[in-house]
């Protein structure tokens, strides 16, 4: 009697175990894959092989494979390992419209950038020198020092032609030509000519523009609606904009009226009804807290670093002495009561976007959800070659038995044997029978 199978070598922490795939047990689901053997049992004697080809060559010397049909419908049962691996890149951006920019270090010493989806799949391969996030269906990219835009298939829809370009907001993107800024629509047509010393994106129907070192606001026709008068200014968010006069920050509404007097050392735009503010302390350090739209402090000055609220959480940082001669932030997240809901443990962390935040730990970027769980990528491995090529730090999370069909060279698998045979019924009855494997005597 001849049996053909594969054995996995698994690291379970205390020892290395060797087990048959079809004996895979739930208790091994957190084991690390070390390697595997290709095996045959002939009359209860086990023979091991280094490669699958080596095993098959030996097996084919003993077995005749005859097929009287003109199509191959080889039926079999295969054990499918489902594995997962943390999504880590040398750099990564927040998710926007379902995609995030990630970067790889290439063998030629350069960085290349592409895009992944929320399953960790690389949907636009790493090929760009400098890509940016998707906004309103388009992402800007740079080629040969000029900016243009691609769609979510990676196709160039506005050719690289601008000295500078921003993301699309409210149907318009700012671009620069000959040192001056204007705006284009998503077809690439200029709708506000390049005329400003500097300009910002549109938010809530208005955009900041700079002329003669003072800041004001224009509408989408290019008309000035709040005259240039501020030393600095932020975009409108939730009906209010942060402005700076005489080195202090306050808030105005869309008529230009001051609703919170200029009093803070630093501040950011309102997000989810709260704005980040800071005050200077001894030795040039700062502490960060949050105010509401009346200018009242709702989360006291207490953090060494903080960012705006996004999706109910804000990134915060605390100084942490992790080396005798070096200090750094440890980052985590707070809710709107100021409670630390994801503890400070990361070297860097961004805001939440579309349910995920990017975090950096030990030099690698990955993603977490709002419980602090890391984003992982799942693989379904349907052959020993697949298993052989997965990284050693991949964790096996489950193993499943599938009824498979080698359909003209393509592997198709089914949850039940009945499901597989139903698929075959659409063909001639003479083609339903599998190839016969006869042992030579």
- Selection from 26, 32, 29 nearest residue 13 by Cα: 32
Q: In 3-state terms, what secondary structure has residue 57? A: helix
The range of the structural domain enclosing residue 63 comes to 2-85+379-439
What are the backbone dihedrals phi and psi of residue 429, each rounded to the nearest 5 degrees, phi first? -60, -30
**307/74: higher pLDDT:** 307
User: Is residue 43, in this structure, part of any structural domain at all?
Assistant: yes
389-429 pLDDT tens trace? 666 666 666 665 666 666 655 566 676 777 777 777 766 44
Cβ atoms of 208 and 227 closer than 8 Å: no
Q: Check residue 383 and give its pLDDT.
A: 62
Ramachandran region of residue 221, left (φ > 0), alpha (ψ -120 to 50) or beta?
alpha
What are the backbone dihedrals phi and psi of residue 387, each rounded to the nearest 5 degrees, phi first? -65, -40
Residue 305: both structure tokens together: 């670093």
Residue/partner pairs of 126-130 with CB below 8 Å, 24 or more apart: 126/102, 127/154
Beta bridge partners of 218: 207, 224
User: Is residue 326, in this structure, part of any structural domain at all?
Assistant: no
307-337 pLDDT tens trace? 999 999 999 998 865 544 445 679 999 999 9
Cβ atoms of 140 and 105 closer than 8 Å: no
Average pLDDT, the chain: 81
Q: Check residue 192 and give its pLDDT.
A: 96
Contacts of 217 (CB under 8 A, 6+ apart): 206, 207, 208, 209, 224, 225, 226, 233, 236, 241
Position of tokens 């049996």? 3
How far apart are the C-alpha atoms of 210 and 216, rounded to whole Å? 7
Q: Check residue 434 and give its pLDDT.
A: 37
Q: How many domains does the chain have?
A: 1
Complete DSSP assignment for 291-303: E-TTS-EEEEEEE
268-277 pLDDT tens trace? 999 999 999 9
Q: ∠ CA(256), CA(259), CA(263), 5° rounding?
A: 110
Q: Check residue 222 and give its pLDDT.
A: 94
Instruction: Give, in order, the Cα–Cα distances in Å from 173 to each of 3, 63, 95, 148, 269.
Output: 65, 67, 20, 11, 20
What are the E-state strand segments in 151-304?
Answer: 156-162, 164-165, 173-177, 180-184, 190-196, 198-199, 207-211, 214-218, 224-230, 232-233, 241-245, 248-252, 258-264, 266-267, 275-280, 286-291, 297-303
CA dihedral sign, ordered 183, 189, 192, 195: positive
Return the DSSP state at 108: T
What are the backbone dihedrals phi and psi of residue 23, each rounded to the nearest 5 degrees, phi first? -110, 15
Q: Is the per-residue pLDDT at 223 higher than 90?
A: yes
User: Is residue 189, in this structure, part of any structural domain at all?
Assistant: no
Q: Check residue 73 and give its pLDDT.
A: 47
How far apart are the C-alpha atoms of 199 and 194, rounded to whole Å? 10
How far apart are the C-alpha atoms of 409 and 387, rounded to whole Å? 19
End-to-end CA distance of the chain: 11
User: Is residue 128, in this structure, part of any structural domain at all?
Assistant: no
Q: Check residue 324 and give its pLDDT.
A: 40
User: Is residue 107, in this structure, part of any structural domain at all?
Assistant: no
Beta bridge partners of 80: 400
For residue 87, name the pLDDT band (cuts at 50, 70, 90).
confident
Supply the Cα-derived Rg of the chain in whole angstroms. Answer: 30
User: Is residue 425, in this structure, part of any structural domain at all?
Assistant: yes
User: Is residue 95, in this structure, part of any structural domain at all?
Assistant: no
Position of tokens 């350069």? 110
Q: Check residue 161 and give its pLDDT.
A: 95
What is the number of alpha carbons within 13 Å of residue 245 lying toward its C-beta?
Answer: 14
Residue 422: both structure tokens together: 């139903």
Position of tokens 């998710």? 95
129-180 pLDDT tens trace? 888 999 999 999 988 889 999 999 999 999 999 999 999 999 999 999 999 9
User: Is residue 185, in this structure, part of any structural domain at all?
Assistant: no
Return the DSSP state at 285: -
């Amino acid at each position: 009697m001849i049996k053909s199978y594969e054995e996995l070598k698994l690291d379970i922490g205390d020892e290395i175990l060797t087990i048959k795939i079809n004996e895979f047990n739930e208790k091994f689901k957190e084991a690390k894959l070390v390697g595997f053997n290709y095996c045959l049992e002939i009359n209860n004697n086990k023979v091991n092989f280094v490669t699958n080809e080596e095993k098959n060559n030996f097996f084919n010397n003993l077995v005749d494979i005859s097929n009287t049909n003109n199509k191959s419908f080889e039926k079999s049962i295969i054990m499918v390992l489902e594995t997962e691996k943390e999504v880590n890149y040398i750099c990564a951006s927040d998710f926007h419209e379902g995609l995030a920019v990630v970067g790889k270090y290439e063998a030629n010493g350069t960085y290349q950038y592409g895009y992944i989806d929320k399953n960790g799949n690389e949907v636009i391969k790493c090929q760009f020198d400098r890509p940016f996030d998707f906004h309103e269906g388009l992402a800007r990219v740079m080629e040969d020092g000029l900016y243009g835009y691609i769609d979510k298939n990676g196709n160039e829809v506005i050719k690289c032609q601008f000295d500078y370009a921003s993301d699309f907001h409210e149907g318009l993107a700012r671009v620069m030509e000959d040192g001056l800024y204007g705006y284009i629509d998503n077809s690439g047509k200029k709708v506000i000519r390049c005329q400003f010393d500097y300009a910002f994106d549109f938010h809530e129907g208005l955009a900041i523009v700079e002329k003669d070192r003072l800041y004001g606001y224009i509408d989408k026709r290019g008309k000035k609606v709040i005259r240039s008068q501020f030393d600095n200014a932020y975009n409108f968010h939730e009906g209010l904009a942060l402005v700076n006069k005489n080195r202090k920050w306050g808030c105005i509404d869309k008529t230009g009226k001051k609703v919170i007097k200029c009093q803070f050392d630093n501040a950011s735009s309102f997000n989810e009804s709260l704005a980040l503010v800071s005050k200077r302390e001894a030795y040039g350090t700062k502490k960060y807290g949050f105010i509401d739209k009346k200018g009242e402090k709702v989360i006291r000055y207490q953090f060494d670093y903080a960012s705006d609220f996004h999706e109910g959480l804000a990134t915060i940082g605390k100084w942490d002495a992790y080396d005798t001669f070096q200090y750094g932030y440890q980052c985590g997240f707070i809710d709107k009561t100021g409670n630390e809901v994801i503890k400070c443990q990361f070297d860097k962390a961004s805001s939440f976007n579309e349910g995920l935040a990017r975090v950096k730990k030990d030099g690698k970027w990955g993603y977490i959800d709002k419980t602090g769980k890391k984003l992982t990528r799942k693989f379904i491995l349907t052959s020993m070659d697949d298993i052989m090529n997965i990284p050693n730090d991949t964790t096996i999370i489950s193993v499943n038995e599938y009824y498979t069909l080698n359909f003209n060279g393509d592997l198709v698998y089914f949850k039940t044997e009945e499901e597989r045979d139903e698929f075959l019924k659409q063909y001639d009855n003479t083609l339903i029978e599998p190839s016969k494997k006869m042992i030579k005597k």
